[in-house]
Chains A and B, each alone.
Chain A
Amino acid sequence: EVQLVESGGDLVQPGRSLRLSCAASGFSFDEYVMHWVRQAPGKGLEWVSGISWNSSTTAYADSVEGRFTISRDNDKNSLYLQMNSLRAEDTAFYYCAKVWDRGGSWDGFDSWGQGTLVTVSP
């Protein structure tokens, strides 16, 4: 059974940093593209960032480009999101998600974690 468990969410002040983690199990983590998706409370879904299986390619939403960094450690079956210069508008539940296809597809997230809440407030 695929399991994705996020951690690291917290209450932080604007301008500070936070690192999220996602522990993966139940599948060959090193064969899949992985993503972060966020959802502000009561709002819609927003794609944040994605990373290829071997970390050679990363992608970011314009809203986080230059402030957030996605990374992974295939030996530890873990995905990370380093968030710097946090803003109030970054307040959201952050989900890690696995793509459905090990063949290199970047889209179609068939497994999601339960999310971790990041609150950015003075």
Chain B
Amino acid sequence: EAGVTQFPSHSVIEKGQTVTLRCDPISGHDNLYWYRRVMGKEIKFLLHFVKESKQDESGMPNNRFLAERTGGTYSTLKVQPAELEDSGVYFCASSPRVYTEAFFGQGTRLTVV
């Protein structure tokens, strides 16, 4: 069984540019989560999809961040325009149900310069 995959693994962009991160969850997992970890800090919740619907997007920092999950399969997280403080590792995770193990992707390390 394929795990959660994220693309790209690394991205270096200039302030003001746009970046789109992609996450392919485990097939059949309705729940998809986005998290971000800034160096040395907690894995911070960004949002949660159930199928194609946004269940909770309370962690999204501002309107420069846009997440989609068309068709309830893969998800994208777009940052536009990127700011320096957006740098960090963005994790995607999926699970078949809530309150169960979340399977993480390997993360996308975003560096905004």
B and A form one assembly: no
Interface residues of A (CB under 8 A from B): none
